[in-house]
Amino acid sequence: MADKKQEQTDIPCQQTFNSAVDLFLLLAKQQAHEGQVSLDALDFVAQAIQTDPAVREKYCDKQFERCSQQVRQSMQKTPRINVYGRIVSQPFETLLNRDPVVLATPQLTNFFHAIEALLGRAQYETLMETSLRLMERISQEKGNKFTYYDLYVDKECWNIRWDSFMALAGFFSKFNIRKDWYIRVMQSDPHTPGQGVGQYPFSDFQFKQQMMCIFKEFTNLSDDERKVFEKRYSEKQRNDLSKFLANVAAIDDEV
């Protein structure tokens, strides 16, 4: 059982590894006409390193640590730089521009940490990769006319966002305990999400405002959207959402 579990957790890494090899081949083959590289040699090397478990494991471990460090640094400096982050934070980005500010930009790092924790790392990484592929596709289609609006209105973007937010609602099935946990995460130091206490407050009322922004689109579904919604999510998931929204609405407003 343990071997099977380990094999399953290696799948995203294997895909990343193969993608890296494919990209290497593509770039190298573009230079082949200059006689600088043998295509047969490249294909042989690619096949060897893709099928050798020892090579793959060492490469994947090294690349994962390298990418993780880059992601952590990127999120600390510009937390909305990742595509998935843009998709899930766009519904409440207006909170960042209010005076007084409801949500500080550095707290987005804490939000992403909370999302990763409740989704699980494997699902979080899958959604990040799916979001990146989506943006690559749309940007190629739109060329220099691409805007993030093109991303936000795409059907696949909505699916990513809906799946993430439905998981968020389901997470709060034990509402008070998990709300308190979420607030602690949002109050933590953005440099060490989930740990310590940062300089930015996050109250029950701020929680209410953020969640109302996030789930606003779920309360204004068109007939066609509602059909898709009911087909995509189980009755339990829909009930969890209804209970969550009722609990959020019951939070007292600040005077």
Per-residue pLDDT tens over the stretch 192-232: 888 888 889 999 999 999 999 999 988 888 898 899 999 99
pLDDT at 49 over 80: no
Residues 86 and 209 both lie in one domain: yes
Amino acid occupying residue 115: I
Residues 91 and 73 both lie in one domain: no
Among 77, 98, 133, the domain boundary falls at 77
Band (pLDDT 50/70/90 cuts) for residue 160 is very high
* 8 Å CB contact between 249 and 207: no
Please state, for a pLDDT cut of 70, what percent of the chain lies above it: 67
pLDDT at 11 over 50: no
Residues 62 and 184 both lie in one domain: no
pLDDT at 175 over 90: yes
Mean model confidence pLDDT for the chain: 80
| pLDDT of 42 | 64
pLDDT at 72 over 60: no
Please state, for a pLDDT cut of 90, what percent of the chain lies above it: 45
| pLDDT of 96 | 86
Residues 35 and 114 both lie in one domain: no
Among 45, 77, 109, the domain boundary falls at 77
Higher pLDDT, 40 or 127: 127
Residues 71 and 120 both lie in one domain: no
Query: Could you tell me which residues come within 8 angstroms of residue 94 by beta carbon, excluding any fewer than 6 positions away?
Result: 213
| pLDDT of 196 | 83
pLDDT at 164 over 70: yes
Band (pLDDT 50/70/90 cuts) for residue 157 is very high
Mean pLDDT of 163-173: 95
pLDDT at 79 over 50: no
Residues 138 and 250 both lie in one domain: yes
Residues 175 and 231 both lie in one domain: yes
Residues 241 and 252 both lie in one domain: yes
Long-range contacts of 9-16 (CB under 8 A, 24+ apart): 9/122, 10/60, 12/122, 12/125, 12/126, 12/129, 13/60, 13/63, 13/64, 14/56, 14/60, 15/129, 16/60, 16/63, 16/129
Q: Structural domain of residue 19, as residue ranges?
A: 1-77
* Total count of domains within the chain: 2
pLDDT at 37 over 90: no
Residues 20 and 9 both lie in one domain: yes
Residues 67 and 162 both lie in one domain: no
Residues 72 and 4 both lie in one domain: yes
Mean pLDDT of 165-179: 95
| pLDDT of 2 | 42
Residues 87 and 173 both lie in one domain: yes
Among 46, 77, 108, the domain boundary falls at 77
pLDDT at 124 over 80: yes
